[in-house]
Structure 1
C-alpha cells in the first residue's frame, strides 16, 4: 500500500484517479501522457513533476492495486488455504468489479518481480513445480478477456466461468 494518500482534488490525486481508470481499462501501452493529463485537467509537466514519467505514475497505481489484490488473496487463503481457485477468483472478481482488470492482466513494462505470482507461489509451488506460473498465466488471460468483454459492452461472467473451470 502506498505510504501516502493524495489529498482529494489535488493535482496528484487527479492524476492517480485518471491513471487508475485509464490503465485499469486500457493498459499501459494504450494510454498516453497527453490523455492522462487532459483527463486529470492538469498539464503534462505536472505529471512529470509528480511522478517523473508515465512509468512512474503507472508504477504507483499498479503497486496500489497489487496491494489491494494481495490483501484479498491473503484473506481468502487464510480462510481456505488449499483453495487456490478460490483465492484467484476473489482477486479476479475484485479487479473486474473495480475496473482494474487490464492493469493486472499485463506484465509491468519495466519490473520483472511479480508480487501476485510470488504470493501464489507460496501457496502452490511444491518440489520445484511451477504451478504458480501456470495459474497466473490463466488468471491474467482471463483478466484480459474480461477487460475485452467489458470494453465491448458484454458480460464478463462467461470468462469467470471458464477461469473457474480451469482452476477448480
Structure 2
C-alpha cells in the first residue's frame, strides 16, 4: 500500500512527476539532482527531505511505474487463460508491456535494470509465467524486453521492437 497519495501541486508530488519524466527519458546516471529540483520548481533540499537521495526518488517512481507495467502484463497473461499456448501468452504480455512503455514514454526508466536493487520484479514475474518455472528464463526474457525498449529510446521504430519481441519463442519442453 502507498505511504502517500501523490499530489501534483505539492513539492513531493512535483518531484515525483519530474522524476518520472526525466528518468523515463534519460538513464539514471545522466539525470542530476539539480535538474530534478529545477523541473519540479523546488530546491535540492526538498528532494533530500522527501526522498533522502536521487536513488531514493528514483526507487519510489521506478516501483510505481514498474507496478503499473506489471499490472498490465499480468492482466495480459491472465486474459490468455490457462489452456493457451505459453509462448504466445508470454509474448502477448511482453508486447502489452512494450506498448505501454512506449505510449507513456517510460523507455529509460523501464528499459534499464532497476538501479540499486537486488531484485528484478519483471524477471521474477516472467519466471513465474514460464512452465516449468525457471529463474534464468525470466532474466533472459526481461533482458530481451529491455533491449527492445532501449532500442526505441535510441531511435528505433517501435514496430521494429514489437517485431523482435514477437519473434521470441519459448519451448516449454526445455529447461535450464
CA deviations over 1:97-142 (Å, ceiling 9, x no partner): 0010110111222112011111111011526572212211110100
Query: Structure 2 vs 1, CA of residues 70 and 128 (structure 1 numbering), >3 Å: closer, same or farther?
Result: closer
- Are the aligned partners of 2:124 and 2:139 in contact in 1 as well (CA < 8 Å)? no
| Structure 2: unaligned runs, 5 residues or longer | 171-176
The structure that has the greater radius of gyration is: 2
What stretches of structure 1 of length at least 5 have no aligned partner? none
> TM-score of the superposition, structure 1-length normalised?
0.90
Distance in 2 separating the partners of 1:37 and 1:133: 34
Question: CA offset at residue 157 of structure 1?
Answer: 1.9
Q: Using the alignment, how far apart are the partners of 1:103 and 1:128 within structure 2?
A: 25
Contact 1:135 1:167 in 2 (8 A): no
RMSD: 1.7
Aligned residue for 1:66? 66
1:125-140 equivalent positions in 2, closer than 5 A: 126=132, 128=134, 130-140=136-146
Deviations 1:1-51 (A, max 9, x none): 634212221101110010000000102111000000011111000000000
Query: When the two structures are superposed, what TM-score results if normalisation uses the length of structure 2?
Result: 0.86
CA contact (8 A) 2:94 2:145 kept: yes
Distance 1:146 1:4 in 2: 32
1:11-50 matched pairs, under 5 angstroms: 11-50=11-50
Report which stretch shifted further, 100-109 or 17-26: 100-109
